[in-house]
């Protein structure tokens, strides 16, 4: 399944990059995220509770930020497992300045299996787009916060 979209932030590119790569901010912004902890190898151990249609579950896995080119983009690789199945995905995030704003575009591929796959690709895709929308709205609030 392919996922893509974009979001425009009312902030300079460097600020958006800082927020988009901060583990604590990501933990707060990802819907259902309970844990987002950096590991010794630079990856992140994650635990998230996610529900799509009637299939809900807790997933644990690893997130990698790869091919980082600050402040222009990176590749996100995710692998997570739970009682309801698995999610594996990879996506590219690109940041581009637009006057005083920054546009973040993403495109990626995800594979799901197990019970979660039984709800059908259309529902999974709609659920993923909804989660992405919630994430970007929460991230916009973080970007707007005064820098610490």
For helices 121-144 and 13-20, give the axis angle rounded to 10 degrees.
Answer: 120
pLDDT of residue 124: 81
The domains found in the chain, sorted by start residue, are: 2-144 (3.30.530.20)
Each residue's pLDDT tens digit, 15-38: 999 999 999 999 999 988 999 999
For the chain, give the mean pLDDT: 91
Mapping DSSP to helix (H, G, I), strand (E, B) and coil, where does residue 86 land? Answer: strand
Alpha-carbon Rg of the chain, whole angstroms? Answer: 15
pLDDT of residue 73: 97
Each residue's pLDDT tens digit, 56-97: 889 999 999 999 999 999 999 999 999 988 989 999 999 999
């Amino acid at each position: 399944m392919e996922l893509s979209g974009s979001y425009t932030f009312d902030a300079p590119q460097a600020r958006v990059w800082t927020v988009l790569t901060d583990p604590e901010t990501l933990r707060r912004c990802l819907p259902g995220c309970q844990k987002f902890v950096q590991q010794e190898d630079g990856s992140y151990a994650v635990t998230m509770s996610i529900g799509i249609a009637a299939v809900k579950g807790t997933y644990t896995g690893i997130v990698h930020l790869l091919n980082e080119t600050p402040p222009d983009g990176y590749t996100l690789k995710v692998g997570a497992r739970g009682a309801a199945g698995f999610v594996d995905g990879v996506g590219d995030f690109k940041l581009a300045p637009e006057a005083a704003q920054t546009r973040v575009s993403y495109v990626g591929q995800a594979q799901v299996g197990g019970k979660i796959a039984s709800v059908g690709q259309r529902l999974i895709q709609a659920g993923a787009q909804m989660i992405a929308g919630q994430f970007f709205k929460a991230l916009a609030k973080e970007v707007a916060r005064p820098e610490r």
